[in-house]
Amino acid sequence: MGDDRAERLERLEEEVDELLRRVARLEAASPSPGAGRTQTVGAPLRPAAEATPADFQTADRPLERGRSQLDLEDLLGGRVLGWVGGSAIVLGAVFFLVMAVGRGWIDEPTRVVLAFLGSTLLFGAGLYLYERKGQTQAALAAVASAIAALYASVTAATQLYDLIAPALGLAVAVVIGAAATAIAVRWNSRVVAGVGIVGALLAPVLVDAGTSTVALAFMAIALCSSVGVLLGRRWDWLAGAAFIASVPQLVYWIAETYEDGLGQVLVVLTLFWLLYVVAAIGYELRVPVRTLRASSAALLLANAVLISAAGYVVLHERHHADAATAWVITLALVHVALGVFGFRGRMSNEIGSLLAAVGIGLSAIGLALALSGPALVVGWSVEAVVLAWVARRTDERRAVAGAALFLVLAVAHVLVVEAPPEALLVGVDSLPQALVGIAVVALAALGISVLLPPAGSAWARPLLQGLVAVALVYLPSVAIVDAWTTGDASDPGQTPQLLLSALWGVIGFCALVGGLVRDERRLRLGGLILLAIAVAKVFLFDLTTLESIYRVLSFIALGMLLLSAAFAYQRLRRTVE
């Protein structure tokens, strides 16, 4: 409810500002003495108090016809010109600052002083025009361009020309950033935020300040200013623009610095991670919301990927592989902890769920980096079961999606590493690892099917039970082939395939009979499907690859099983009916 009230209040403020601008235009039109009267076409003048609704309708029609034209004119004449003009001033100030000394017009200190003076005068003029001469877009553009020019000037004076000490330059930048934040929030001005703050974020690049730590600090101050505005206003575009403008500078600084100061790089990454988190959900933390913006979710995810990847690459390049993995896992745990804390505090469930989801996603990557083989399958399977338990306790469907994702990862790892499909032909590299991986996946699928919340699991539970059944068939199949194979990939032997066909036929027959006895349709269907697979294997594979004696045995055994299955189906099915 708080978020709805804040949004309605913001829209009301914008509508009031628009009404004030229209009233100012009407007052400036110098109405004639007869303006207080309403006249219809072909009718005598009457006082406004005596006018009929038809008079007002007739008088309003020309305004309605010209409304779209007036709005377009207002957009082009007021806002677009203001934005373009402000941007042109910012670029002009930057070009002035980086002008080559070789031209000999004025020296570097004089250029910087003139830039400061010009920007300050423009700032004061914009403030005066906005407060005393009407809240126009031109005044907003003047203030915004002056803020960006002041920031570029102090960055150039500190980094480009070394005219003032870095401490003094950063102090001035803090003052400029605070002023930009206060003005953008107080005036509710997107122009000040767009031209002023985003221009300040780009100032170190525009004046070619280099990759020093001080230049990064200037950009960080401008980023803090944008975060301050985002705490007061729910402007998606500003969060995205700040992220896009600052990330390349951060990455470039890391690439130039990590070899000399690893600890400093990690501290900077942590601080920027915190700034981006506040930029993404700061407004929602201040004004609790029921739904989360897609831009907040995207920014949180991009932030997690950026910081975890940057930290991992830096640590790995410095030959700290274990520390690199620990960095990713730590970020995952921090996100999960913030999400869990959010469920108990002011934070909405949407934000808590998103933070937890980001942390769980990072944990999957961290486990993949830290573990291998069956241990990784166990880790992913445990996370899947835990998420299924969370879904049952909270009735959160997104937790079900997370459980499914981790289970899919575990199954994919088993089918790619521990027991790939070709294991049914030549066996596996390590039978214990293969058996552990398949058994863990089966147990995880069984646990998830039990823990799933009743609502929305009508289709998921049978699918999971089917996965358990497949794993229980796949496990002895791999074991038989690996135990009886010759070890030669080119000639694995005839016996494993004969035993495999017999195994599938026997299991299918038993499942069919069990389904008939218990009157369980899914069990009967599973038995029939497995028998069909055994028939297909015998006719398509065994017939072409097995030698004569093995081929004969395979067909005879399969035929007897199929006859027995048909007899059992007819007798038991009739008895059940």
Residues 6+ apart with CB under 8 A from 541: 497
The answer to whether residue 67 scores a pLDDT higher than 60 is no
Decide which of 96 and 212 is more confident: 212
- For the record, the structure tokens of 108 come out as 């570097």
Whether 51 maps to a domain, the answer reads no
Amino acid at 503: L
In this prediction, residue 59 carries a pLDDT of 39
Which helix (DSSP H) or strand (DSSP E) does residue 144 occupy? helix 137-155
Co-location of 468 and 522 in the same domain: no
Q: Report the pLDDT averaged over residues 208-225.
A: 84
Q: Which of 360, 377, 363, 470 is nearest to 416 (CA)?
A: 377
Q: How many residues are present in the chain?
A: 577
Q: Which of 155, 195, 188, 187 is nearest to 174 (CA)?
A: 155
Decide which of 239 and 141 is more confident: 239
Whether the Cβ atoms of residue 504 and residue 530 lie closer than 8 Å to each other = yes
Whether 414 maps to a domain, the answer reads yes
Q: How far apart are CA 377 and CA 400, in angstroms?
A: 18
Whether 303 maps to a domain, the answer reads no
In this prediction, residue 257 carries a pLDDT of 85
In this prediction, residue 307 carries a pLDDT of 95
Co-location of 523 and 459 in the same domain: no
The answer to whether residue 46 scores a pLDDT higher than 50 is no
Residue where the block lists tokens 């575990």 = 410
Q: Report the pLDDT averaged over residues 207-218.
A: 79
Please give the sequence-ordered ranges of beta strands (E in DSSP) within 168-315, or none if there are none: none
Domain residues for the domain of 569 are: 494-576
Co-location of 559 and 467 in the same domain: no
Q: Which of 460, 423, 454, 457 is nearest to 438 (CA)?
A: 423
The answer to whether residue 313 scores a pLDDT higher than 90 is yes
Residue ending a domain, among 462, 483, 504, is 483
- For the record, the structure tokens of 187 come out as 């005036």
Angle value at C-alpha 340, between 304 and 295, nearest 5 degrees: 40
Q: Report the pLDDT averaged over residues 493-517.
A: 84
In this prediction, residue 247 carries a pLDDT of 93
Q: What percent of the chain has pLDDT over 90?
A: 20
Report pLDDT digits (tens) over 75-111: 444 455 555 555 565 556 555 555 544 455 567 777 7
Lowest mean pLDDT among 270-284, 400-414, 437-451, 516-530: 516-530
Q: How far apart are CA 77 and CA 84, in angstroms?
A: 11
Identify the burial level of 57 via C-beta atoms within 10 angstroms of its C-beta, where 0-12 means exposed, 13-18 middle and 19 or more buried: exposed
Co-location of 464 and 375 in the same domain: yes
Whether the Cβ atoms of residue 369 and residue 379 lie closer than 8 Å to each other = no
In this prediction, residue 315 carries a pLDDT of 93
Out of 40-44, 76-80, 90-94, 237-241, give the one with best mean pLDDT: 237-241
In this prediction, residue 432 carries a pLDDT of 92
Decide which of 161 and 66 is more confident: 161
In this prediction, residue 70 carries a pLDDT of 42
Co-location of 505 and 562 in the same domain: yes
Whether 85 maps to a domain, the answer reads no
Q: How far apart are CA 132 and CA 50, in angstroms?
A: 38
State how far Cα 564 lies from the chain centre: 57
Decide which of 72 and 445 is more confident: 445
Co-location of 376 and 476 in the same domain: yes
In this prediction, residue 176 carries a pLDDT of 86
Q: How far apart are CA 516 and CA 537, in angstroms?
A: 25
Which helix (DSSP H) or strand (DSSP E) does residue 203 occupy? helix 198-206
Q: Which of 148, 140, 130 is nearest to 92 (CA)?
A: 148
**Residue-by-residue DSSP string for 93-105:** HHHHHT--GGG-S
Residue ending a domain, among 483, 510, 531, is 483
Neighbours of 3 (CB within 10 A): 17
Report pLDDT digits (tens) over 264-301: 999 999 999 999 999 888 887 777 666 677 778 888 88
Co-location of 473 and 498 in the same domain: no
User: How many domains is the chain built from?
Assistant: 2
Co-location of 380 and 466 in the same domain: yes
Torsion of CA 387, 392, 394, 398, to 10 degrees: 50
The answer to whether residue 422 scores a pLDDT higher than 70 is yes
**Residue-by-residue DSSP string for 369-423:** HH--THHHHHHHHHHHHHHHHHHHHH--HHHHHHHHHHHHHHHHHIIIIIS-TTH
In this prediction, residue 575 carries a pLDDT of 55
Whether the Cβ atoms of residue 444 and residue 410 lie closer than 8 Å to each other = yes
Whether 562 maps to a domain, the answer reads yes
Decide which of 156 and 347 is more confident: 156
In this prediction, residue 81 carries a pLDDT of 54
Beta-bridge partners for 382? none
Neighbours of 534 (CB within 10 A): 26
3-class SS of residue 541 = helix
In this prediction, residue 476 carries a pLDDT of 93
CA distance to 5, 233, 284, 545, per residue, from 227 (Å)? 22, 10, 13, 69
Lowest mean pLDDT among 17-21, 44-48, 97-101, 297-301: 44-48
The answer to whether residue 55 scores a pLDDT higher than 60 is no
Angle between helices 262-286 and 236-257 (to 10 degrees): 170
Residues 6+ apart with CB under 8 A from 39: 45, 46, 55, 59
Whether 231 maps to a domain, the answer reads no
Kindly provide the b/e burial profile for residues 429-468, where b requires at least 16 CB atoms within 10 angstroms of the residue's own CB. eebebbbbbbbbbbebbbbbbebbbeeebeebeeebbbbb
In this prediction, residue 21 carries a pLDDT of 65
Q: How far apart are CA 88 and CA 92, in angstroms?
A: 6
Q: How far apart are CA 125 and CA 19, in angstroms?
A: 24
Whether 400 maps to a domain, the answer reads yes
Kindly provide the b/e burial profile for residues 228-239, where b requires at least 16 CB atoms within 10 angstroms of the residue's own CB. bbbbbbbbeebb
Whether 34 maps to a domain, the answer reads no
Co-location of 472 and 394 in the same domain: yes
Co-location of 385 and 477 in the same domain: yes
> What does pTM read for this prediction?
0.68
Report pLDDT digits (tens) over 338-396: 888 766 655 667 777 788 888 988 988 898 888 888 999 999 999 999 888 888 877 77
Co-location of 472 and 378 in the same domain: yes
Lowest mean pLDDT among 331-340, 383-392, 489-498: 489-498
3-class SS of residue 577 = coil
Q: How far apart are CA 226 and CA 503, in angstroms?
A: 67
Residue ending a domain, among 483, 518, 542, is 483
pLDDT band (50, 70, 90) for residue 487: low
The answer to whether residue 52 scores a pLDDT higher than 50 is no
Q: What percent of the chain has pLDDT over 70?
A: 75
Co-location of 456 and 427 in the same domain: yes
Mean pLDDT, rounded, of the chain: 78
